[in-house]
Amino acid sequence: MQFKPFMREGFMPLPVAFVSSISDDGVRNIAPYACIMPVLRPLDLICLASASKRDTLTNIRATNQFVVNLVGTDFADKVIPTAKYAPPDKDEFLLSGLTEKPSKTIRAPGIAGSYAWMECELYKEYIEPNYILIMGKVVRLEVADEVLTPDGSLDLQKTRPLMMTGSSKGMHFGTVTDIDHFESFGAMFPDGKDPLHKTYNQ
């Protein structure tokens, strides 16, 4: 079956991250963002695609800060309350009933109950008339201890990260499961060694 090119995300499950930010005069904001990706390994950059009319974008431009909150499927019922239009002077923590988790390095607060928090500073913008790519530098990354395996990787079963696909009718929410298949990074290279291994072992 052939689909229209703009139906890409119907077949490409996306993480649903909650981006929290604060306006210049202290109003707290939350918005779900699914168009989000890390920029290569082992960089500390993260890229969000944002429509131009977003309080999130206004706040990031005003303060240079935001938090990417990664959440589990238990946040599915918080997607619409945070995605619905709210005027910029409305506190979206209060509107959605979510609780603040104070950040350590920036003023923009994180969201309690997330399983990971990336405190970010605006690094660069790629500006097009209808959308902006926001490049953030992750300045602090924290993950809840209870979702980590003994070797420090993410326990997908415990976390059940919130994901989505789109269809012609709307958004379908789901999660990912571990298929117990592990490969080292080195496996990609002829000598079996990961050229970046020192970065990870520092």
Pairing of strands 45-51, 36-38: antiparallel
Query: Which of these segments, 61-69, 77-85, 99-107, 179-187, binds ligand FMN (CB under 6 A)?
Result: 77-85
CA dist 61 and 57 (Å) reads 6
CA distances from 9 to 56, 119, 156 (A): 22, 26, 22
In the bound state with ligand FMN, the residue whose beta carbon lies nearer, of 169 and 198, is 169
Binding to ligand FMN by CB under 6 A, coded x per residue (else -) over 9-28, reads -------x------------
51 binds ligand FMN (CB under 6 A): yes
Q: Shortest approach of ligand FMN to residue 134 CB, angstroms?
A: 9
Name residues whose C-beta falls within 8 Å of residue 33's C-beta, 6 or more positions apart in sequence: 16, 17, 18, 19, 48, 49, 50, 56, 68
56 binds ligand FMN (CB under 6 A): yes
50 binds ligand FMN (CB under 6 A): yes
Q: For residue 63, count other CB atoms closer than 10 A to its CB.
A: 17
29 binds ligand FMN (CB under 6 A): yes
User: Which of 79, 111, 120, 147 is in the footprint of ligand FMN by CB under 6 A?
Assistant: 79
Query: Which of these segments, 30-38, 60-68, 147-155, 178-186, binds ligand FMN (CB under 6 A)?
Result: 30-38
Q: Which residues bind ligand FMN (CB under 6 A)?
A: 16, 29, 31-35, 49-51, 54-56, 79, 83, 85, 164, 171
